[in-house]
Amino acid sequence: MAPIAVGNVLPDGKIFLFDENDQLQTVSVHSLLAGKKVILFGVPGAFTSACSLQHVPSFIEKAQPLKAKGVSEIICYGMNDPYVMKAWGKTFPENKHVKFVSDGSGEYTKLLGLELDLKEKGLGIRTRRFAMLVDNLKVTVANIETGGEFTVSSAEDILKAL
């Protein structure tokens, strides 16, 4: 399947998150993102070095400038189980704006065409690193990395596109 691209409408599917009452919720992507300007950024793995030291911090640090440009939500998406994503999110005590969501089974990653085979590194099939700007479900920016690189999907790259 071809990767999601600019001009595409995000497919609907289920993802998992913990709500403000710390209850695990299964939510439809469309119900979560419809009518909003959202940054959805994907990581190959929670607690991995580039994800923890560069990718997530870039969005935490740039959250205010992104929101000032009209972004209503910033969502970190990973193919880890929801409990791992929750625990990982808690390792960023300065975070006030990035929501962590899970696609533990990889079903939504397949719908996006963003699978990354990292079996040789002991990680299995994961999500390619990416950052997308989505406006009312339509992809307006799609910065998708090749391999495990981190060259086009930072918060700074999205800010430039805004």
* The pLDDT of residue 109: 95
What's the pLDDT at 48? 83
Could you identify the residue written with the tokens 């998992």?
16
The verdict on pTM exceeding 0.85 is yes
SS3 sequence of the chain: CCCCCCCCECCCCEEEEECCCCCEEEEEHHHHHCCCEEEEEEECCCCCHHHHHHHHHHHHHCHHHHHHCCCCEEEEEECCCHHHHHHHHCCCCCCCCEEEEECCCCHHHHHHCCEEEEHHHCCEEEECCEEEEEECCEEEEEEECCCCCCCCCCHHHHHHHC
| Catalytic residue flag (residue 51) | yes
Q: Which residues of the chain have pLDDT under 70?
A: none
> What does the pLDDT read at residue 160?
95
Residue 9 is predicted with a pLDDT of 98
pLDDT of residue 117: 79
Catalytic residue among 17, 29, 33, 51: 51
